Amino acid sequence: MNPSNSASNLSAPMLNVSNTQLAEIFEEMADLLELSGENAFRVRAYRSGAAAISALSQPVSELIKSGFDLTSIDGIGGTLADKSKVVIQSGALPQLETLRQAVPRTLRDVMKVPGLGAKKAMKLHQEVGVIDLATLKTACESGRVASIKGFGKKTEENILQNLGIVMQAAMRLRLDQAEQLVVNLRAHFDGCPFLERIDFAGSYRRRKETIGDLDILVISENAEEVMNRFGSFPQVHEVIGRGETKMSVRLNNAFQVDLRVVQRQSWGAALQYFTGSKEHNVHVRSMAKSKGLKISEYGVFKETDEANPVAGEDEQSLYAAIGLPWIPPVLRENRFEFQPSIQSRLKNLIEESDMLGDLHMHTTFTDGEATIEQMVAAAVERGLKYIAITDHSKRVSIARGLNDEQVLAQWQLIEQVRKDWHGKIELLKGIECDILEDGTLDLKDDTLEQADWVTASIHFGLKQSREEITERILNAIRHPFVHAISHPTGRLLSRRQAYEADWPLIMKAAKAHGKCLEINANPERLDLNDLLACAAAEAGVWLVINTDAHATDQLGLIKYGVQVAQRAGLARQSVINTLPRAEFMDWLKNRSRIPSQEL
C-alpha cells in the first residue's frame, strides 16, 4: 500500500477504533438506511465498505495516519473514506447518530427474521408499534400482524416459527465470530505488564459451533490492574459484576464475557474446570473419588488432605492423577473419552495437516470472487494436492448457476488450466448439482458423466416432508455419477434449522453405494454436525471435509470442518480427502471401496 499526498486533516488525534468497530458502524449504517427506505445503491456502498475494512490486515487508523488513500481499496469510495476519518478521529459518526434517533436500532434484529426484511420490518414498526423481537412476538401472538395488509395469518405463523431461531441467535456467537472476539481481546491484553498468562475456556475452547458466553482465565499478581485493563476493552457496554478475582461484562451486542484471575499452582485445574463440559467434569470427579482424590478448580487433593494439592498446575498432571492421558478439549463431552479405546482414538484423531484435498469451491463463473486460476494458485500455496471446482448448477439462478452448455465450457477451460499446474496439483472438473424438488438432478446425465467430481445438494424445497427430503437425497446417492452430498441437513446456524430426514437410512444407502457425506466447513453451516458425522463414520460411510470456498482466503475455513470431525472423534482414515493424491484418484475410478474404520 502506498501513501497518498492528498490526505487531509492528518494532524487530528487518532482514537483506538479497530477495523472491527469501524466495519460494525458501517454495517449499522447500512441496516438503518435500508430500514429508512434509502436507495439500494447507497445501502450497498456501506456494506461493501464494511466488508473491505473487515478484510484488511492493517488497521485503518494506521493507514489514515500514514496518509494512505483509502479510495484505492476496492469497496471504499470517497464518501466512506471521509467517514472513516471522521470515526477514527472522533469515535462517532454524526449521520449514524441522526439515524438512530429516527429508526430504532433494535429493528435491525427484526429485519433479520427470515421472511421479513427492511420494508416489512418498518411497516410492522409503523402500523403495530414493533420495535424489537419481543414486541414482534407479542404482536404475532395477539393476531395484530395478520391484520396488516400484505401479511396475513400464514405470514404471522411463519414469523413466530422463525422468531425462536433469531432470538436464540441473539444470545450466541458462531464459532468464527467468537474467534474474532478472542483475537481482539488478546490484542487488547497484549503488552499488559501485569499479565503472566491468558487463555480462553468454556465451549469456545471445546470448539462448539455456537458460543453462549466466553470465559477468560489469567494468571496475574495484580488482579486489580488486569481487571481495569479488561474494563477498558472498547466493546464493553456495561460491567455486570466485579470482585477481587472475577469480573463479568456485557459487550455492545449483549454477549457476556467473564474474567477470572487464578493462582499459578491452580492454572491447570482451573482451565480444566472452566473448559467443561459439565458432563465431562462430573465423570472426571467421579473417577477421582474412586481413587481417594478430590478435584476442584483449585487443584487435585487427597480426600484426607485438602490443603496440599498433588496435581493441577497443568492439565496433564490432573488427568494423569486419575489414570488418563490428556484429553483434548474438543473431546470433552462425555461421549467416548473415557472408553478404553481412547489411546487409539487420540493416536488417529484427524488433524488439519491431514487434509490433502478440497472438493467444494466456487469461482467467478457463478457466485465466487476468484477465478479458477486464482483458486488453484491459492490451493497450491496451502499445500493441497487435489481440488475440485464445483460451481452451482442452473437451479441456483441467484448465484448465476450454470446450464449444461456452460458447465461443459467451464470444464474445457479447466482442462486448459490443468496443463499449467501439471505435477503441482490435481485439478478436477466438478459441479455442485442441485437435487430438484422432484428428486431428479439439475443437469443431464450426459453432462454429469463427463465430470470428475459431482457433489449434489438441496437449496430449494426445504419445507418438504421428512419422507420427501429423504427420498430426494436417496435418489442422488443412487445416481451413478454423484460422488457426495453437500451440506446434507441444509441448516444455516442461527438462521435456518436443519430439515428433517431419515439419517440412518441415508447413511446405510451412502455406504452401500460408496458415496460421501460432507462436513461443510463454512462456520455458517458446519454441516454435518459432530453427532451426525460420528454416526456416519460408525456406519462405515466416507466423510469429506470441504470449505465451500467462494474466495481464496476462505480455503482457510477448513480448520472449522476439521474441528467438527475432531469433536466427532473421527480418524483421518474416515475422511476421503485425507488420502494421498494417487489413492484418491484410484478411489474415483473404483468407488465401491468402503473406508476402514480405525476409531
Question: Which CATH number belongs to the domain containing residue 55 in this structure?
Answer: 1.10.150.110
Residues 207 and 307 in one domain: yes
Report if residue 453 sits inside a domain. Answer: yes
Report if residue 379 sits inside a domain. Answer: yes
| Domain-terminating residue out of 295, 330, 365 | 330
In angstroms, the CA 373 to CA 288 distance is 57
Contact predicate 133/107, CB 8 Å? no
Q: Cell numbers of 368, please?
A: 465466487
Q: How many domains does the chain have?
A: 4
Q: Cell numbers of 59, please?
A: 488497521
Residues 260 and 375 in one domain: no
Q: What is the DSSP string of 41-107?
A: HHHHHHHHHHHHHHT-SS-HHHHHHTTB-GGGSTT--HHHHHHHHHHHHHSS-HHHHHHHHHS-TTH
Residues 290 and 368 in one domain: no
Residues 366 and 491 in one domain: yes
Residues 361 and 503 in one domain: yes
Residues 465 and 379 in one domain: yes
Report if residue 9 sits inside a domain. Answer: no
Question: Which CATH number belongs to the domain containing residue 313 in this structure?
Answer: 3.30.460.10
Question: Which CATH number belongs to the domain containing residue 528 in this structure?
Answer: 3.20.20.140
Residues 409 and 489 in one domain: yes
Report if residue 252 sits inside a domain. Answer: yes
CB atoms within 10 A of CB 29: 24
| Residue owning grid cell 458446519 | 526
Question: Which CATH number belongs to the domain containing residue 122 in this structure?
Answer: 1.10.150.20
Residues 536 and 484 in one domain: yes
In angstroms, the CA 390 to CA 62 distance is 39
Of 407, 62, 108, 427, give the one whose Cα is nearest residue 252. 108
Going residue by residue through the chain, which has 599 residues, state the pLDDT in tens, using 9 for 90 and above.
Answer: 333 333 334 344 445 677 878 888 999 999 999 898 888 889 989 999 998 898 777 888 888 888 889 999 988 999 999 999 999 888 788 999 888 888 888 888 888 888 888 889 989 999 999 998 889 999 999 999 999 998 999 999 889 888 876 766 566 899 999 999 999 999 999 989 999 999 999 999 999 999 999 999 999 999 999 999 999 999 998 898 999 999 999 888 778 999 999 999 999 999 999 999 999 999 999 999 999 999 999 999 999 998 899 999 999 999 999 999 999 999 999 999 999 999 999 999 999 999 999 999 999 999 999 999 999 999 999 999 999 999 999 999 999 999 999 999 999 999 999 999 999 999 999 999 999 999 999 999 999 999 999 999 999 999 899 999 999 999 999 999 999 999 999 999 978 889 999 999 999 999 999 999 999 999 999 999 999 999 999 999 999 999 999 999 999 999 999 999 999 999 999 999 999 999 999 999 886 444 444 33
Burial 120-150 (b: 16+ CB within 10 A, else e): bbbbbbeebebbbbebbbebbeeebbbebee
Of 455, 577, 410, 555, give the one whose Cα is nearest residue 418. 410
Contact predicate 542/317, CB 8 Å? no
In angstroms, the CA 593 to CA 152 distance is 53
Residues 305 and 445 in one domain: no
Contact predicate 293/282, CB 8 Å? no
Distance of CA 194 to the CA centre of its chain: 33
Q: Using only the alpha carbons of the chain, give its radius of gyration.
A: 26
Domain span at 177: 173-330
Residues 322 and 383 in one domain: no
Report if residue 530 sits inside a domain. Answer: yes
Residues 382 and 398 in one domain: yes
Contact predicate 70/84, CB 8 Å? yes
| Domain-terminating residue out of 169, 191, 217 | 169
- Assign 553 to helix, strand or coil: helix
Report if residue 149 sits inside a domain. Answer: yes
Residues 392 and 534 in one domain: yes
Contact predicate 543/576, CB 8 Å? yes
Alpha-carbon torsion (103, 108, 113, 116), positive or negative: positive
In angstroms, the CA 502 to CA 598 distance is 26
In angstroms, the CA 515 to CA 181 distance is 38
